[in-house]
Amino acid sequence: MSIVTLQLGQCGNQVGHAFFSSIIEDLASGDCRRATSGRAVTETDDAYSEVSRNRFFHCTEAGQQQAMRARAVLCDAEEKVVAMVTEDAAKSGCWAYANNAKVCLKRGSGNNWAQGYRHHGPKCWPNLSEIVRRQAEASDRLDGFLALMSLAGGTGSGLGTFVCEQVRDEYPQANLISGLVWPHSRGEVSVQAYNSVLTTAHLTAACDALLLFENDRLQDACERRLGLARVDVGHLNAMIGHQLGAILQPACGVQSAAAQGPALGGIAASLCPHPDLRLLQLRCLPYASERAKEFSGFAWPGLLRHLRQMLLAGAAVEEGLDWRQDAALTAASGRQRCFASRLWLRGLGADSLCPADWEQHLLLPELHPAWLPQSDRLTVCRTGRPYRGYERACALVSNCATGADTLDRSIARAWSMFAAKAFVHQYARFGLEEAAFLDCFAAAEQTVFNYRNL
């Protein structure tokens, strides 16, 4: 079942490129492994590779070479970034973006959500919908769409929102999950709070699930895990790409390709069955620089314990965790209420773990609402095939209140600007009046309220 990636805006395109690079690296690491392993491993790996390739790439035979074209649609309001990303992909030699998969306008969105939503969106959409249709039809079975965008700017957030709403209308059966990159809380863009609130308010209605990537937390994680004093945008994007790969690569053990369920559908169904609760947090272990990777041999109990503590403390990294924070304390403070979680286990011995092994760590009755049946609180996917050369790796996606905290902060900032009428005329210039603002504020407050009262 294939996933079509929609890369929207500057950040969306850069992150999308990092995501496909992660997949390619993962496939390459599998090739290395196969060279040195026995037959049983080879079969699993072959199945994995085949599923993964078909999920994300359109593979054609072009002469001697097998050409892999990413199932992606690239859209931006100006041409520079899309051109750069396409060129980088082609340079890699083994994959590239499809030739006619991009739509660019001439003029940027000026960090203006209204310009992206009301002006650029409708302008791009006729061309874009054709390209999306072509990508959707190129797959045997469509799992759904992964939309990648940032919330700070105007194109990703405004045009991105418009595109998601249109895609939802045209493909009501397909799953639609968006990966949203939240800007640093200390300003990248003056009006980022407005853009964040407007987008989230619309997308909680249009998408099945929203995966939140916060620049602050990513930066912290990169600094600690990679040991870098200087982290740049490339590192942040690489981390997002890695995390997305960890949850979207196949993970059903030795089952045949046909039996692999939909990745996006699985996430949406298990984590977001309730329309009011759609904000997802992603935590992934381990993550290290290339040189340190060989030495990151963790055992499952250790990894799972860290994941649990990260969930309880609401943290992004496994270092500097507050280990005093236990389940009872967390539940009492009401801060980390968790609706449901989904766990991926990738690596040696994952297949031989038994449910008790992970349930003791991650099934925390104090955190979940009482009315949710036990079996729905935690779902697990696993495969013995390691991910990107990490001997053992795991990822946890939780529908929990941490996302609501981030949204809450943005609403607070946006509201104080709105009360002072700051920047409102810039949005009115493109037709977004105060009433529309108020509607979005109401929707966003509703989302926060839902999580606070889990």
Chain residues binding other proteins by CB under 8 A are 10, 78, 80-81, 84, 106-112, 154, 184-191, 193, 219, 223, 228-234, 411-413, 415-417, 419-423, 425-426, 438, 441-442, 445-446, 449, 453
Q: How far is the CB of 189 from other proteins (least distance, A)?
A: 6
Nearest approach in angstroms of CB 153 to other proteins is 8
Least Å from the CB of residue 438 to other proteins: 8
The token pair at 317 is 């990294």
Q: In 105-167, which ranges are E strands?
A: 142-150
**Stretch (H or E) spanning 277:** none
- Rounded least distance, CB 69 to other proteins, Å: 25
DSSP 292-341: HHTT----HHHHHHHHHHHHHHT-SSSTT--TT--HHHHHHHTS--EEEE
Q: Which is nearer to other proteins, 170 or 232 (CB)?
A: 232
Q: Which C-beta is closer to other proteins: that of 60 or that of 453?
A: 453
Six-digit token string for 80 = 């520079």
90/299 with CB nearer other proteins: 90
Is the CB of 223 or the CB of 391 nearer to other proteins? 223
In angstroms, the CA 379 to CA 247 distance is 13
Dihedral class, residue 392 (left if φ above 0, else alpha if ψ from -120 to 50, else beta): beta
Query: Helix and strand tally (H, E) in the chain?
Result: 18, 13
The least distance separating other proteins from the CB of residue 209, rounded to whole angstroms, comes to 22
Please tell me the distance from the alpha carbon of residue 376 to that of residue 346, in angstroms, as a whole number. 21
Residue 203 CB, shortest distance to other proteins, in Å, is 19
Closer residue to other proteins (CB): 57 or 451: 451
Of 171 and 415, nearer to other proteins (C-beta) is 415
**Closest distance between other proteins and the C-beta of residue 452, in Å?**
9
- Whole-number Cα distances in Å, 34 to 50, 75, 107, 386: 14, 37, 48, 11
Give the up-direction half-sphere exposure of residue 314: CA atoms within 13 A in the CB hemisphere: 18
Total count of residues recorded for the chain: 454
CA 57 – CA 395 distance, rounded (Å) = 23
Token code pair at residue 215: 């620049």
Instruction: Yes or no: say if 69 and 95 are a contact pair by the CB < 8 Å rule.
Output: yes
Q: Rounded to whole angstroms, how far apart are CA atoms 62 and 269?
A: 38
Please state the closest distance from residue 425 (CB atom) to other proteins, in A.
5
Of the two residues 179 and 183, which places its CB atom closer to other proteins in the complex? 183
Q: C-beta of 112: minimal distance to other proteins in Å?
A: 5
Pick 141 or 421: Cβ nearer other proteins: 421
Q: Report the residue number, 352 or 416, with the smaller CB distance to other proteins.
A: 416
Q: Are 366 and 328 within 8 A, CB to CB?
A: yes
- Residue 217 phi, psi (nearest 5): -70, -40
